[in-house]
């Protein structure tokens, strides 16, 4: 693409209309009736300009599980969904629990070039929950890790959780907890409730999530350290986070798009594309997490993009893997669940899907406002069309999406990462040529 791009008539975060002149990887000018000889002009009439989306919870699977996803394929999926930065979870093989592995992931992201890939380090060695990983070494590495998580596994031992919270204070890190009491969820297959009883599937009680969150916010308060709660899913969890914030605890929380829209009723068809950890909950929980996001109790939306090969899902429900891909569909689901219902504005979407996740992850020069002098990482989104989501919309290596065949609003029209176009007029480019 040309070095100079002139975007005309975009609605900045859904508000006032402005032109954006992009040159040298930055927003050179933002205003009305801009012009530049030789610039490529993009007609953005009707399009919403958002700061590039930032996902605090993505599984890229590389190294070790490249049959499901690679850093390159996951980066392409992210760009297609309007993302310009993703935080890569550490459940790889080897686990990202050393400086060497997180630096390898960083290098793979830089080579792919579609988005900024920021590694997350494991809290414990091998994610086994027995002893702390090399938190300081990962923080001091070229990857400058600031988020640590054993996602997929709960840091269940309270002493280890306390020590991790204490350790990361030295470099302003945060522990991102997968809140799941392992004893309360042994053999669990779906949300514990009326539907699980009818289907005869072992239930996954809400208290297994809520009890860990309650413990950890008290530990965070005691230590005076930052805690982040991954993929919150129950009404009780929202209440606990609300209480903790009123108390002054330094805690943040995320919700996934699928927990904002889908319920445990979808398990009735035994379609494993709806099997996820934490499980889809009751309609009452969906209402509660929507309200918690709208009132600021829940800080961000994160995809928990979890790709799996076809054979891991094309089997009976108890044997199927947990997880859904979500990068390509996230913004469209958020429009359906939160914007079209009047619970969030587009400015709110910019906050919960860009600014705040970048702040929580301490990711510099992301989530910045669309003003002159800032990096040109942005998304142009068309909220008007409605069409059926299909496998053709999935640009990663796996297709385990719960939305295939479902009508969803909106479309990502353009994505720019540091001034380089990755999606142009709705089409993902083969090579973005992103600047370092």
Tokens of residue 340, six digits: 């079209």
304 is catalytic: yes
SS3 299: coil
How far apart CA 90 and CA 150 sit, in angstroms, is 7
How far apart CA 341 and CA 247 sit, in angstroms, is 30
Residues whose CB is less than 8 angstroms from the CB of residue 150 and which lie 6 or more positions away in sequence, other chains included = 90, 122, 123, 124, 127, 129, 178
Q: How many helices (H) and strands (E) does the chain have?
A: 12, 19
Rg over alpha carbons for the chain, rounded to the nearest Å, is 21
Tokens of residue 145, six digits: 């890790």
Tokens of residue 229, six digits: 């709660």
Q: Exposed, middle or buried: residue 14 (CB in 10 Å: 0-12, 13-18, 19+)? A: middle
Active-site residue, from 97, 264, 285, 304: 304
- 75 to each of 83, 212, 264, how far by Cα in Å? 9, 32, 30
* Alpha-carbon dihedral angle through residues 93, 95, 98, 99, given to the nearest 10 degrees: 60
Burial 232-242 (b: 16+ CB within 10 A, else e): bbbbbbbbbbb
How far apart CA 173 and CA 158 sit, in angstroms, is 18
How far apart CA 346 and CA 13 sit, in angstroms, is 5
- 218 to each of 176, 223, 225, 369, how far by Cα in Å? 15, 9, 11, 34
What are the catalytic residues?
304
């Amino acid at each position: 693409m040309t070095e100079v791009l002139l975007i005309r008539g975009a609605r900045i975060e859904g508000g006032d209309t402005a032109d954006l002149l992009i040159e040298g990887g930055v927003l050179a000018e933002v205003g009305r009736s801009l012009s530049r000889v030789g610039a490529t002009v993009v007609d953005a009439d009707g399009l919403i300009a958002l700061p590039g989306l930032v996902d605090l919870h993505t599984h890229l699977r590389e190294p070790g599980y490249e049959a499901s996803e690679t850093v390159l394929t996951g980066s392409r999926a992210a760009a297609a969904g309007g993302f310009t930065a993703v935080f890569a979870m550490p459940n790889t093989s080897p686990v990202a629990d050393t400086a060497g592995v997180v630096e390898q992931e960083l290098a793979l992201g830089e080579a792919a070039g579609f988005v900024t890939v920021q590694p997350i380090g494991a809290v414990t060695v091998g994610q086994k929950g027995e002893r702390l990983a090399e938190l300081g070494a990962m923080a001091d590495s070229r990857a400058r890790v600031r988020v640590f998580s054993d996602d997929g596994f709960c840091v269940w031992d309270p002493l280890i959780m306390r020590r991790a919270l204490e350790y990361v204070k030295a470099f302003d890190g945060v522990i991102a907890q997968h809140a799941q009491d392992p004893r309360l969820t042994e053999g669990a297959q779906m949300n514990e409730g009326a539907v699980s009883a009818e289907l005869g599937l072992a239930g996954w009680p809400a208290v297994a999530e809520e009890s860990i969150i309650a413990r950890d916010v008290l530990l965070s308060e005691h230590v005076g350290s930052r805690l982040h709660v991954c993929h919150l899913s129950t009404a009780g969890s929202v209440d606990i986070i609300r209480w903790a914030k009123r108390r002054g605890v330094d805690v943040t929380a995320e919700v996934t798009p699928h927990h904002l829209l889908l319920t445990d009723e979808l398990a009735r068809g035994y379609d494993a594309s709806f099997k996820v950890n934490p499980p889809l909950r009751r309609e009452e929980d969906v209402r509660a997490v929507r309200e918690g996001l709208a009132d600021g109790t829940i800080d961000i939306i994160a995809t928990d993009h979890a790709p799996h090969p076809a054979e891991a899902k094309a089997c009976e429900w108890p044997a199927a893997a947990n997880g859904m891909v979500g990068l390509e569909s996230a913004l469209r689901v958020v429009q359906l669940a939160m914007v079209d219902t009047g619970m969030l504005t587009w400015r709110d979407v910019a906050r919960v899907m860009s600014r705040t996740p970048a702040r929580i992850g301490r990711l510099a020069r992301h989530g910045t406002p669309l003003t002159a002098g800032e990096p040109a990482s942005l998304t142009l989104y068309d909220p008007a069309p409605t069409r059926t989501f299909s496998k053709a919309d999935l640009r990663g290596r796996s297709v385990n999406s719960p939305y295939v065949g479902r009508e969803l609003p909106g479309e990502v029209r353009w994505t720019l990462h540091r001034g380089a176009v990755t999606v142009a007029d709705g089409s993902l480019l083969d090579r973005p040529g992103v600047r370092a």
